[in-house]
Amino acid sequence: MSRIAIVPGDGIGAEVIAEGVRVLQHLAPDLALEHFDLGADRYLRDGATLPDDVFVRWRDEFDAIYLGALGDPRVPSNVHAKDILLGSRFRLDLFINQRPIKLLDARRSVLKDKGPQDIDIMVFRENTEDLYTGMGGTFKEGTPDEVAQEVCIATRKGVERIVRAAFAYAAERGLSRVCMSDKSNAMRHTGGLWQRTFREVAAEYPGIEASHLYVDVLAMELVRAPERFQVIVTSNLFGDIITDLGAILQGGIGLACSGNIHPGRVSLFEPVHGSAPDITGKGIANPLAAVLTAGMMLEFLGRPDDHARIQAAVRGCLLADEVTPELGGTLSTRAVGDALLARL
């Protein structure tokens, strides 16, 4: 029996996770689900972000964490999101941020003449380094001489393990292309490490074509010719940006799912989107990203058939226009959940 920690979180996070939980309970009633009250409300109430005892329980007692989103206008510092989301990524060492870009319904394509056969990519975003560590500082804050510094970190270990994960994924699935993307023309030090590491690991996979694009060109190519890509591996910040671009290629941010993974350890699954304060409380958030995320999590827990069933049901909803308003539908978050459960 797998144990799942549920963190609905802020804004639409709670609204969409409720639908994902219904799907989990339907498909896998044997899962042990435990809800955790963490997020902006909790932080504003008692100052807690990610308490140590919760962290230790997640690490030692759970198989996966299912998270909605964190971010609330009442907490401008975003400190709770940094502690909970980035804190989990760093402290649980969830070094793989795996983000599929998969178009399920041809009519949702925003690209002329590109269909599901053209848009099926897995992004491996490095998840523990780069510009995300918080290293750096501010000097003479608030004065005309203010200096701010954000340190970009790449380690041999960190780069090598994400590159290896990308190649292993491609090899396991019989895929033939891995593209690494960086900005080594401008960022010589970290870029140099990425370049050398990528070449060395690629040499172990002679059957896989290893290519490289600077990240600015990758952004262009993802729109011009997404069919070029099967697996993309990149650093933390570039992966963040590229996967929001990827979200729209699959029909919208309300359809993009992700896993923050350390193979063999507790891992965290969340939709790519945020807490969407602009639509919170209206009952119109698209729950399909959260539902697809639940599917990814079930696959991670050794249930690939359940993942496939969820993907098929989501595709069914899209084809039948059983969708929320941002996709041109008329259904509420809850009604999409109902439609999906009916299909399952």
Nearest residue to the partner ligand IPM, using Cβ: 240
| Nearer to ligand IPM (CB atom), residue 71 or residue 329 | 71
Quick note: the x/- pattern for ligand NAD over 325-344, rule CB under 6 A, is -x------------------
Residue 182 binding ligand IPM, by CB under 6 A: no
Residue 272 binding ligand IPM, by CB under 6 A: yes
Residue 240 binding Mn ion, by CB under 5 A: yes
Q: Which of 81, 178, 253, 291 binds ligand IPM (CB under 6 A)?
A: 81
Name the minimum Å distance from CB 258 to ligand NAD. 8
State the Cα–Cα distance between residues 107 and 327, nearest whole angstrom: 11
Q: 238 and 209 in contact (C-beta within 8 Å)?
A: no
Helix axes 288-300, 304-319, angle to 10 degrees: 160
Q: Which of 24, 249, 279, 317 binds ligand NAD (CB under 6 A)?
A: 279
Cα–Cα–Cα angle for 120, 125, 127, nearest 5°?
150
Residue 278 binding ligand NAD, by CB under 6 A: yes
Q: Is 139 exposed, middle or buried (0-12, 13-18, 19+ CB in 10 A)?
A: exposed
Name the minimum Å distance from CB 325 to ligand NAD. 8
Please spell the DSSP secondary structure of 22-54, one letter per residue: HHHHHH-TTSEEEE---SHHHHHHH--SS-HHH
| Nearer to ligand IPM (CB atom), residue 253 or residue 331 | 253
Q: Taking the alpha carbons of 201, 204, 205, 209 in that order, is the dihedral positive or negative?
A: positive
Residues 213-252 binding ligand NAD (CB under 6 A) are none
State the Cα–Cα distance between residues 268 and 316, nearest whole angstrom: 26
State the Cα–Cα distance between residues 107 and 207, nearest whole angstrom: 34
Q: Which of 158, 191, 254, 295 binds ligand NAD (CB under 6 A)?
A: 254
Residue 253 binding ligand IPM, by CB under 6 A: no
Question: Can you tell me which residue has the tokens 């069919």?
Answer: 227
Give the catalytic positions in this structure.
132, 183, 216, 240, 244
What single letter denotes the amino acid at residue 300?
Answer: F
Residue 286 binding ligand NAD, by CB under 6 A: yes
Name the minimum Å distance from CB 60 to ligand NAD. 24
Interface ranges with ligand IPM (CB under 6 A): 81, 85, 240, 272
